Structure 1
Amino acid sequence: MLSNTLLQLDLKALTGFLYLLEERHVGRAAQRMSLSQSAMSRLLIRLREAFDDALFIRTASGMLPTNRALELEVPIKQMLEQMASLQMTPEFEPSTSRRVFSLLTTHYQAQAYVPAIAERFYQEAPLASLQTTTITETSLMRQTEHNGDLYLCSEYIEVPNTFKHTLFGREKFRCIMSAAHPLAKQDVISLDEYLSFQHVLVNMGGPMRVVSDSLLGDRAKERRFAFRTPYFMAALETVSRTNLLLSTSGLLPSRFQQSFGLVMKDLPFEFPDVKYYLCWPRSSSGDPAADWFRAMAKEVVQSLIPYPN
């Protein structure tokens, strides 16, 4: 156990001790500490009481340190250096890191952006690992702990107020259909034509909320969802094999337009661009590794998204 006198010492007093060792003079040590000479003398008294030793003996040539003072020099200097290191932000080197990074996102963004993020990730951090997990509309609100390094979310994902977020861009909603669909050769489709066909709904795992229903107003009840799935690729391939219509963000369908034989049309009603965000827990801010991961992912996504922020 430390004595009460030792417990009362602060970093300023220990720094003053080292200055006294270097200067061997109370006045010069006081100047370096921005203290008066009397305040420096009082600090020396506290040091002597704490270590139960005179520490410095006045001589004609200055303050001569005792053997005890010389013994204390190295451990006190090491302790102060360790304390100073607590203020330093640790460096992060991606090329040598073996850290496991965690990315949580929706099915759509996992397929639209994660492969490109992973490509860049392993170019810069070949020894590190990347794991992804699916989130749903409300899953983040139900969790008590959030340990992910990065969350890719659309505006339809509910995010806790303990998160920070930054907008990285927008996508337009399009109407997706098979190239063999009866409407495929039309430049423009009417709302009546749109509602006359059955539709696919990609459910993100939350409540069965259809955002476009509010935009369709009373006519929303005319739309019938004949196929519901949480899997975006299953929805695209189903559309390519049927006369069903899918209304969704356009980036990912555009990639599979040729291989699946898809056609993309403007929706026959106004639909605002969908906003996409990078989110992360406030508690992870200031982590150099997580900061690198987020900056890298944002750069990759913004190179892909049709309307980067």
Structure 2
Amino acid sequence: MIAFDKLDLNLIRVFDAVMEERSVLRASQRLHLSQSAVSHALSRLREALDQEIFVRTGKGMTPTSYAIEISGPLRAALHSMSKTLTQAVAPFNPEGVNRSFVIAANDYISATLLPQLNQQLSIAAPGIDLLITPSTRLDLAEQIDLGRIDVAIGTFRSVPERFRTKPVLFQDEVFVCSGGHPIGAKALQLEDLATYPLAVVSLGGEGEGVLSGYILERGLARQAQMYDRNALEHALNEAGLSARRQIVLPHFLALPMLLEGSELLAIMPRPLARTFARTLGFMIKPLPYPVARQQLDMIWHTSNDNDPAQLWLHGQISAAADKISRLQD
């Protein structure tokens, strides 16, 4: 049993640095300590825990399963202590602060939510930078655990207890086609899906660990298929039809070029469809089959719960999403 009151908390700082850097040398440089001091601290921590925590390999310091298990909670505790001390000295002032926030989002969210959010920040906090990282990265949950991502925005089926979640907006799916599409102004019918080629977006492809349209990692299930594939296939099967052809893309960026001058039909969220219709003259067609509305959430680590800067950011994201929601109605 560990005597916590006798444990040197500096050992936890060393552990956290080595866990992130996977190198005694880089951890020592980060902590401004000698390599021998870092190695000695790891030895002391190993003795205190009575557990192996790192193994030296050709790739550096490889954490044991025990180290991986405790790393998240310990990092969260360090973040909490650091933020408590920082907040007590310097309250958050958005107008005068110079800092950056890291937001994980896909290209659809970046194209629809980011312009409004950026407009708000340019007025309320001109010294704040936004760093957008792909929410499609395979280590999304790990990056949130490590504190490298402040907020992730997307559709999540399950969220572990160490993360907080808040609804951002609700969205539905629509079909989009070029302004000169042969279907013209008439309503889209199921039969049209068997006539015209179909383009959809699946952020994780149609395989690669995708289960029922979601990718599960570290307890976080995030959306991969950016359309309700089951609803589409069920409707076609019921009508005795099948889609003529599908183009499956890992992002929405290529859709405008594919749609322009072609007979393609594309499924996408309504906010993005409105952007394409407004800027490129594409036509929006309601789905000819029922699909439930989807909830878009933002998630963050519980270690950020009491951080005024993070809470302010959450409010700004919510305000931007509210503006987009009003445009949909």
Return the TM-score normalized by structure 1.
Answer: 0.64
Alignment of 1:1-309 (within 5 A): 88=88, 90-136=90-136, 139-141=139-141, 143=143, 145-155=146-156, 159-186=159-186, 188-205=187-204, 207-208=206-207, 209=213, 210=225, 211-215=227-231, 216-217=233-234, 219=236, 222-306=242-326
Aligned Cα RMSD in Å? 2.9
* Distance in 2, Cα, partners of 1:283 & 1:111: 29
1:141–1:223 Cα change, 3 Å = farther
CA contact (8 A) 2:236 2:243 kept: yes
Aligned mates of 1:85, 1:226 — CA distance in 2:
54
Q: Cα offset for 1:191?
A: 0.9
Deviates more, 1:266-275 or 1:118-127: 118-127
C-alpha deviation, 1:96, in angstroms: 1.2
Cα deviation for residue 184 of structure 1 reads 2.4
Distance in 1 separating the partners of 2:135 and 2:87:
36
Q: 1:160 to 1:114 in 2, by over 3 A?
A: farther
Structure 1 stretches lacking a partner, 5+ long = 1-83
Distance apart, 1:87 and its partner CA: 9.1
Aligned to 1:50: none
Structure 2, gaps ≥5 residues long: 1-83, 208-212, 214-224
Q: Does the 8 Å CA contact 2:235/2:289 hold for their aligned counterparts? A: no
TM score, norm. by length of structure 2: 0.60
Structure showing greater Rg: 1
Q: Percent identity, please.
A: 19
Instruction: Tell me if structure 1 keeps the 8 A contact 2:105–2:134.
Output: yes
- Count residues with an aligned counterpart: 224
1:235/1:206 CA distance change after superposition, 3 Å: same
How far apart, CA to CA, are the structure 1 residues paired with 2:112 and 2:270? Answer: 10
Match of 2:81 in 1: none
Q: Which amino acid aligns with 1:213?
A: R
The Cα offsets for residues 281-309 of structure 1, whole Å up to 9 and x where unpaired, read as 1111111111111111111111112589x
Question: Is this contact kept in 1: 2:200–2:268, CA < 8 A?
Answer: no
Distance 2:115 2:192 in 1: 36
Distance 1:206 1:138 in 2: 13
In the TM superposition, what is the alpha-carbon distance from 1:258 to its structure 2 partner? 4.1
Query: 1:68 maps to what in 2?
Result: none
CA contact (8 A) 2:197 2:245 kept: yes
Specify the code of the residue in structure 2 equivalent to 1:176.
V
